Amino acid sequence: MTLDTWIGLGLILIAGIAVGNCMLPLKYARRWKWENTWLIFSLVSLVLIPWLLAAATIPDLGSIYAQASARELAIPFLYGAGWGIAQVLFGLSIVRLGMALGYAIIIGLGAMGGTLVPLIAQHPEVLASRKGLLVFLGIAIMIAGIAMCSWAGRQREKAAGIGGTRPGASYATGVLIAVICGLMAPMINYALAFGQSLAQQAIGRGVSVANSNYAVWPVALAGGLVANLVYSIYLLTRNRTWGNFRELRPDLFLAVLMGVLWMGSVAIYGMAAGYIGALGTSVGWGIYQVIMILAANLSGVMTGEWQGAGRKPAYALGSGLVLLAAAVVVMALVNR
């Protein structure tokens, strides 16, 4: 593997750890409810940081957008909007299915779709090659690891008397919502993969390949902001929790930290995709998702989430994490 590939893999490792832990501050919120935190998190991660990064790294950013066609702007914006809807559906599906089953469906479909769709659309010739075989093998191992971790999580939920699936129509609705969410979740990656005309314009102005994707994020994440903003405002109004903003510390800091971790991970992933090369937005996405799951599960273990779960769930979790690590190795070999 080339030095650029190693740099790209290292950046994806950092990005995966950051996004895997970006929701951790929610555990320590004092007065604010979910919707309070989510509103600030959305504004920081989807508006403030993307524009600051783009302005700092892309010269003549305004002229790039002014000269771009309506189609070039609409593609990343609409994919971003689809991802924003998936963010809202994620919360709804978790309520109905529990964390374990919800994560299995959503992340499994999201990781698979986010890896395969850019590959099929942009590099179909790779599918029948050795690289394509490694991609499919990595996805298969990844899905097996996700399934194992999800089974372990379901057993932990049962032991703790939480989560659980609801019977009847509610369960069926939950599965349907999770499937739709899983199909739409990788649209944030599609926004990057199919919004490369903006990145190419930045490169034409002397911006490095690693930084060129910063031209895509403000447009894509503006689309994602719509659903998150509407849903947060709806909950704030329905639950009458606007008044919680009168007390800022420490919850404001926690919400901002969540935004920094999430957008930081997305920005670093975009840089990593540039270093990895032609398959960066396909193979890179798969590795990014796996490391995110590894980081989130390990953080859960370290913060005591698995205390009292029993031996079998713990062994299953360990086996799932080993499979996920193996998937990273297999997918990394694609660029060998």
Which of 264, 266, 260 is closest to 216 using CA atoms?
266
Q: How far apart are CA 61 and CA 207, in angstroms?
A: 11
The distance in angstroms from the start CA to the end CA of the chain is 5
**Residues 6 or more apart whose Cβ sits within 8 Å of residue 204:** none
Q: What is the pLDDT of residue 108?
A: 77
Q: Identity (one letter) of the amino acid at 49?
A: I
Q: What is the pLDDT of residue 308?
A: 73
Q: What is the pLDDT of residue 336?
A: 67
Q: How far apart are CA 149 and CA 101, in angstroms?
A: 10
Q: How far apart are CA 320 and CA 313, in angstroms?
A: 10
Q: Is 49 helix (H, G, I), strand (E, B) or coil?
A: helix
Which of 188, 134, 164, 174 is closest to 19 using CA atoms?
188
- The one-digit pLDDT tens for each residue of the chain (336 residues) are 778 888 888 999 999 899 888 888 887 888 999 899 999 999 999 999 999 999 999 998 999 999 999 999 999 999 999 999 998 888 777 667 665 566 667 777 887 888 888 888 888 888 888 888 988 998 899 888 888 887 887 777 677 665 555 444 466 777 788 889 889 988 998 998 899 999 999 999 999 888 898 999 999 999 999 999 999 999 999 999 999 999 998 999 999 999 999 999 988 988 888 787 767 777 788 888 888 888 877 877 787 777 777 788 888 888 988 988 888 888 878 766
The CA-based angle 310-316-322, given to 5 degrees, is 135
CA atoms within 13 A on the CB side of 238: 9
Token pair recorded at residue 91: 């919360």
Rounded to two decimals, the pTM is: 0.80
**Contact status, residue 19 vs residue 261, Cβ threshold 8 Å:** yes
Which of 57, 49, 118 is closest to 271 using CA atoms?
57
CA dihedral 36, 288, 277, 127 (to 10 degrees): -120
Q: How far apart are CA 206 and CA 49, in angstroms?
A: 22
Q: Identity (one letter) of the amino acid at 322?
A: V
CA atoms within 13 A on the CB side of 33: 13
The CA-based angle 88-76-185, given to 5 degrees, is 35
Q: Is 243 helix (H, G, I), strand (E, B) or coil?
A: helix
Q: How far apart are CA 80 and CA 224, in angstroms?
A: 5
Q: What is the pLDDT of residue 72?
A: 95
Q: Is 58 helix (H, G, I), strand (E, B) or coil?
A: coil
Q: Angle, to 10 degrees, between the axis of helix 311-332 and the axis of helix 130-160? A: 160
Rama region for 161: left / alpha / beta (φ>0; ψ in -120 to 50; rest): left
Ranges of H-type helices in 21-69: 34-43, 49-57, 61-67
**Contact status, residue 55 vs residue 222, Cβ threshold 8 Å:** no
Which of 129, 57, 182, 153 is closest to 336 using CA atoms?
129
